[in-house]
Each structure stands twice: as C-alpha cells, then as structure tokens.
A = this chain, B = another copy of it.
Amino acid sequence: MLESLQNEKKLLPERVAEQIITLIKDKELKEGDKLPNEFEMAKQLHVGRGTIREAVKILVSRHVLEIKRGCGTFVCQNPGKIDDPLGFAFVSDKKKLAYDLYELRMMIEPNMAALAAEKADEEGVAELQKIADEIKESIAKGQDYLEKDIQFHALISQLSQNSVVSTIIPVLQTGISFFIHMTNKSLMRETIETHQLLVNAIADHDSQAAKKAMEQHLKYNKEKMDEMMKEG
C-alpha cells in the first residue's frame, strides 16, 4: 500500500527508475555490475525501450547508474550517494557555511549523544573509549587527530541507531573539516576532557549528561571558531 501511494503521482519513467532500483536491490547488484540490456529490461518491466532509456537517464543523474558507451549500463560506486552530497564545495561564503554547520550540529549532536547513551551496548562503549584513548595519545605525541575526531563523532552517530543521523553527521563534519582541523590544534585539553565526559555518560546510559557533554564540547569549538574568525 505504501509503495502504491508513493507511486501514484509519479510519471512512468520515474516509476520505472524505482523498479530498476528494486531490481538492483533484489539481485544484490554491486558497484561495477552490469545491468541487463535495454531490450531485456523493457521486456521484464513491460514498458517500451524509450521509457527504459528515460529511466536510466534519471538514475544516471542520481549517481545510481553509469553508461559506458559500447559496453552497457553499470551500477555506480556507492549508488545514490556522492561525496559532498550537499554541494558545500560550491558555497562561496565559507565563514557563513561554518557558522550554519555549527548551528545545525548544535541542534543534532547533543540529541544524538542522548540517544547513544540510551542505546549503546558494551561493545560500542568499548570502541568509543578506544578511539578517545587514541586521540589522547595522538595529542600527547603532537600528532594530527582530525581523522580520529571525525571517527569519534561518527561512532556516536552509529550508536544513536538513527540511520539518517549516521548518514548526515560525516557529511556535516567533512563540510567543516578545515575548521575542526584548526580548532583541534588549540583545544587539546578541552577535547580530551569533553570526549571522556561523553564516553562516561554513554557508558552510564545517562542521556542528560551525554547531551550536556556534547553541548559543552561544541561550545568550546564555537568559541574557538569565533576567535579565529576575528583574527581573520
């Protein structure tokens, strides 16, 4: 019923595009796998070859399929997902982008930390502690820890068990990786402290403490960002 409602207002090529996605999922086609040819798909889905061509075009524009001329139609790498899917590279005003990303992270991440505290199991907590320890070690050695910091927040998003949150968080972080990189350099003590508070709160399944620790963590970063902006 959901499927039919979802479809009732869409045009034929759009609907056929969705049938092709279903076909990819059902046959478990992976990156680089070849699709049946136009003729076969037209027969299988009971539509004309022109409709198949239109549907394939739609899926090329969604980064699901790619056409290799003379070879056929293939499934893309990470079908339906692209690096920088929100097009941050095309935003000219990077300062405003950084503030907007911060504002959005402030809406999502404290709540995400609270969910992680509710839902994390022992294995997840152990993994989080491990990354926090690695970050501490990197700081002690004067090494860069940007990648691990992104990993830390990505793992909390996974522990929140919200699939959309865990898709979005790495996207938002990548958008401001250069700011994270810069604020990291001068927030070493604060990072170690608030990361450990977060791990503890999640281990104790204390949602409110996890929320507060994440708020504090983001606030430190915001203050540093403000300072940097003033200095230009």
Contacts and interface: CB of A to CB of B under 8 A. Distances in A.
A108 interface: yes
Interface stretch (A127-135, A158-166, A188-196, A198-206): A158-166
Given A111-B107, A162-B104, A177-B6, A61 B80 contact: no
Contacts of A27: none
A211 B87 CA distance: 28
Contacts of A103: 115, 162, 164-165
Interface in A46-79: 61-64, 69, 76-79
Interface in A164-197: 164-165, 167-168, 172, 175, 177-178, 181-182
A62 B83 contact: yes
Interface of A: 1-2, 5-6, 9, 18, 21, 25, 61-64, 69, 76-87, 89-92, 94, 96-97, 100-101, 103-104, 107-108, 111-112, 115, 144, 146, 162-165, 167-168, 172, 175, 177-178, 181-182, 232
11 contacts: A6-B178, A63-B82, A79-B87, A80-B84, A85-B86, A86-B164, A87-B167, A97-B164, A100-B162, A103-B115, A103-B165
